[in-house]
Amino acid sequence: MKIEQIETFVVGNPPPYYGGRYFIFVRLVTDTGIEGFGEVYTATFSPQVVELMIKDVFERHFLDADPFHIEKLWRRVYGSGYTLRPDISLISVLSGLETACWDIKGKALDKPAYELLGGKVHDRLRSYTYIYPAEGEDESVYSDPDLAAERALHYIDQGFTALKFDPAGVYSVYDGRQPSQTELERSELFVKTLRKAVGKRADLLFGTHGQFTASGAIRMARRLESSDPLWFEEPTPPENVLEMARVARQTTIPIATGERLTTKYEFARVLEAQAASILQMALGRVGGLLEGKKIAAMAETYYALIAPHLYCGPIEGAANAQLATCTPNFLILESIERWEGFHARILTTPMRWEDGYVIPSTAPGIGADLNIEVAKANPYTGKALHLEMTQDPVLP
């Protein structure tokens, strides 16, 4: 079997844009007619540039290659152009292509990818969602603790047992910084209000985006500890894991990190420094399914857990579910609410979500085929990046 064709889809995500402005999907086709789908999570360049990157990597390494030879393909791309080091844009492209190979491999063998990566461990996968505004409402839910508590109860009624929110404020290209008194007080009130509303019915996941210095994050953590969040996400920027480890040593809240990291090598540094006990790899960026499995195995030796991150489309979501299903140290899976709306329409068969859990697909491959008709009907033609930070310093 050989890979002989590729097609790339840059799909605009309609309002309310949950998961980002656009999604980048790839479709590989073999000489036997089997097709595999993957998702590329690259936010550093415009998607039109990423399309050219995908084409280049495909033509250099994947064209006429055997899709079963994933280790060989991975190493050739990783070393492309004399790199052999984590390169987030290159590895993001590799991630989408690698996932598509697993999709092909599973379809060729008539098995879900998780059965080829160790076999099913979990029959259902606990999931969480961000607290998003109700339909027709503005974004006040992100800063108003009472409105957030009302929405939290709505999600609990749907079956969710964990909810994420990030009230600490904007994040900037100049971070980390010290949190202001306003940010500290707002965050503390937010968590206390949510805890009072949900009681013991749900875990609270406190999200940040690397906004703070280690000392600033420690100050923030001490404001939150009495409400017992399940995690404090990415409290410091991702470059210096020793500083994040300072935070981990001085709070009782578990530290979670990983959405901006790529490959086993960056996650190894997190584990060695004991900077986090919950790893949030994004499979459209980290290096693909096999790389995610290797990271999970490393984490297992440190008694660390995995909680795959998701802020893009449902092909990565399906890959996350494949990894979670076969991973003993899986904790929880990020969902975009209940995988409804556009996240359902862009797939031929939507993700299955029931009472707070994603149910692993029994279909071969990654269990999610792109709806080509919907993808082509929703092209992204904008110039903005998938996700952007504030360009100026944040003032107290």
What average pLDDT score do residues 300-324 get? 98
Asked which of 111, 143, 168 is the last residue of a domain, the reply is 111
Task: Kindly tell me if the per-residue pLDDT of 383 is higher than 90.
Answer: no
3-state secondary structure 78-139: HCCCCCCCCCHHHHHHHHHHHHHHHHHHHHHHCCEHHHHCCCCCCCCEEEEEECCCCCCCCH
242 and 344 assigned to the same domain: yes
261 and 344 assigned to the same domain: yes
**186: confidence class by pLDDT, cuts 50, 70, 90:** very high
CA distance 360 to 209: 29
CA distance 228 to 195: 9
The answer to whether 315 touches 368, Cβ cutoff 8 Å, is: yes
pLDDT score, position 387: 87
105 and 119 assigned to the same domain: no
The answer to whether 210 touches 175, Cβ cutoff 8 Å, is: yes
Task: Kindly tell me if the per-residue pLDDT of 238 is higher than 90.
Answer: yes
Percent of the chain with pLDDT over 70: 100
In a domain, 389, yes or no: no
The answer to whether 223 touches 195, Cβ cutoff 8 Å, is: no
pLDDT, tens digit, for every residue of 77-125? 999 999 999 999 999 999 999 999 999 999 999 999 999 999 999 999 9
137 and 208 assigned to the same domain: yes
In a domain, 32, yes or no: yes
pLDDT score, position 188: 98
CA 55 vs. chain centroid, Å, equals 24
247 and 100 assigned to the same domain: no
One DSSP character per residue, 167-229 reads TT---BTT--BPPPHHHHHHHHHHHHHHHHHHTTSSEEEEE--S-B-HHHHHHHHHHHGGG--
Task: Kindly tell me if the per-residue pLDDT of 334 is higher than 90.
Answer: yes
CA 182 vs. chain centroid, Å, equals 29
In a domain, 376, yes or no: no
Which phi-psi region, left, alpha or beta, contains residue 82 (left: φ > 0; alpha: ψ -120 to 50)?
left
Task: Locate 1 and state its tokens.
Answer: 């079997």
Task: Kindly tell me if the per-residue pLDDT of 395 is higher than 90.
Answer: no
- Residues in Cβ contact with 331 at an 8 Å cutoff, skipping those fewer than 6 apart: 126, 278, 305, 306, 307
Other C-beta atoms lying within 10 Å of the C-beta of residue 189 = 14
CA distance 44 to 281: 17
CA distance 8 to 53: 11
CA distance 129 to 176: 26
Task: Kindly tell me if the per-residue pLDDT of 47 is higher than 90.
Answer: yes
**4: confidence class by pLDDT, cuts 50, 70, 90:** very high
pLDDT score, position 101: 98
CA distance 114 to 322: 5
Domain limits for position 71: 3-111
What average pLDDT score do residues 249-255 get? 98
- Residues in Cβ contact with 217 at an 8 Å cutoff, skipping those fewer than 6 apart: 176, 208, 232, 235, 236, 247
Largest interatomic CA distance in the chain: 62
167 and 187 assigned to the same domain: yes
73 and 123 assigned to the same domain: no
11 and 66 assigned to the same domain: yes
In a domain, 219, yes or no: yes
233 and 254 assigned to the same domain: yes
The answer to whether 6 touches 80, Cβ cutoff 8 Å, is: no
Q: In total, how many domains does the chain have?
A: 2
Q: How many distinct helices (H) and strands (E) make up the chain? A: 13, 13
**179: confidence class by pLDDT, cuts 50, 70, 90:** very high
What average pLDDT score do residues 356-373 get? 98
Provide the mean pLDDT of the chain: 97
